[in-house]
Amino acid sequence: MNCQALVIRPSSLRDIVHALPIVHDLKRHRPGIEIDWVAEEQFTSLVALNRGVRRVIPLALRRWRQSLLVRNTWREFVAFRRELKLVPYDVVIDLQEQLKGALVAWLAQGPVHGPDRASIREPVATVVYRHTHRIDTRQHLIDRCRHLAPHPEPSPQKSRFAVCLHATSRTDKLWPESHWRALMGELARAGMRVLLVSGNDEEEKRSVRLAEGNPAATVLARRELPALAALLARADLVCGVDTGLTHLAAALGTPTIAIFIATDPRLAGVERASKRARDVGGIGTVPTPDEISLIANDLSGGARNNRDPAR
């Protein structure tokens, strides 16, 4: 089935015109994507002129506000909600940046993308977003909208890939960035894609630094725990510092290397969780990239044949 997307930009005329290029972006990044659009009723014909939009769902919020006590208003609202729920969307993109757009997104079926609290006009709208994105507020509205067009991420199921978990709440557990870059280079030379995940701005900046200059490395968009768990379960290898996600990967049976620097692996290691997990280092001991590479080669070499193909 093709990817199903819903764009929410009900008004105004100028803002809808500035938002329309996102259709081209989505079609280019996701060939075959089907796009629906929520627009105020007076603008539906304009949106429908874009051949990339499959269906325009009319919203009469301005008119409904003026006749809240009229029975027909509520009938129209129920019909709108029913049409909005006809399709389970893979992605819902709220470009309105206001509470009214967020409420429409909340009614739809699908994970919602929108600006983060520092980038949006009405921060309260972010409570319904599953995925938030930092956007430069000084740029043109067209560029702001285009920033929210989800780009395709690598297809881990079709190629061997490793996840590097470099982040932890304790700075004394961090592995040197130079070591990560060296390890990622070795993984790339072994034919593996390297995926970097982040949970906050600081971690994302580190991911970007680590990925710089390595064409096999990709910084993934932030995601909730269930999506992260699914990613770790599909990985051919996970390398991480002593953090919860590293332990989760081992518990899921994924070949996992846990890098210990400030804690004792005898008390908090991952090897007890899985035969495919390895603990390296310890209190005051910083493992080298070569040590990790040798273990990674051993673990990931047999992973392709031993993993459950149904995963």
Domains of the chain, by residue range, sit at 4-146, 156-306
The residue ranges of the chain whose pLDDT is under 70 are: 1, 150-158, 301-311
Which option is the CATH number for 156-306: 3.40.190.10, 3.40.50.1100, 3.30.70.3040, 3.40.50.2000?
3.40.50.2000
Total residue count of the chain as it appears in this document: 311
Phi, psi of 233 (to 5 degrees): -65, -30
The order of strands in the sheet holding 112-115 is 53-59, 34-40, 4-8, 91-94, 112-115, 131-133
- Domains 4-146 and 156-306 alike in fold: yes
8 A C-beta contact, residue 257 and residue 237: yes
Q: What is the pLDDT of residues 254-271, one digit of tens each?
A: 999 999 999 999 998 999
Q: What is the pLDDT of residues 51-98, one digit of tens each?
A: 999 999 999 988 998 888 888 999 999 999 999 999 999 999 999 999
Q: What is the pLDDT at residue 36?
A: 97
With b for 16 or more beta-carbon neighbours within 10 A and e for fewer, the 239-256 pattern comes to bbbbbebbbbbbbbbbbb
8 A C-beta contact, residue 255 and residue 300: yes
Q: Which residue has the tokens 């893979």?
A: 90
Distance between CA atoms of 253 and 276, rounded to whole angstroms? Answer: 7
pTM: 0.53
Q: What is the pLDDT at residue 169?
A: 87
Q: What is the pLDDT at residue 137?
A: 86
Class of domain 4-146: alpha beta
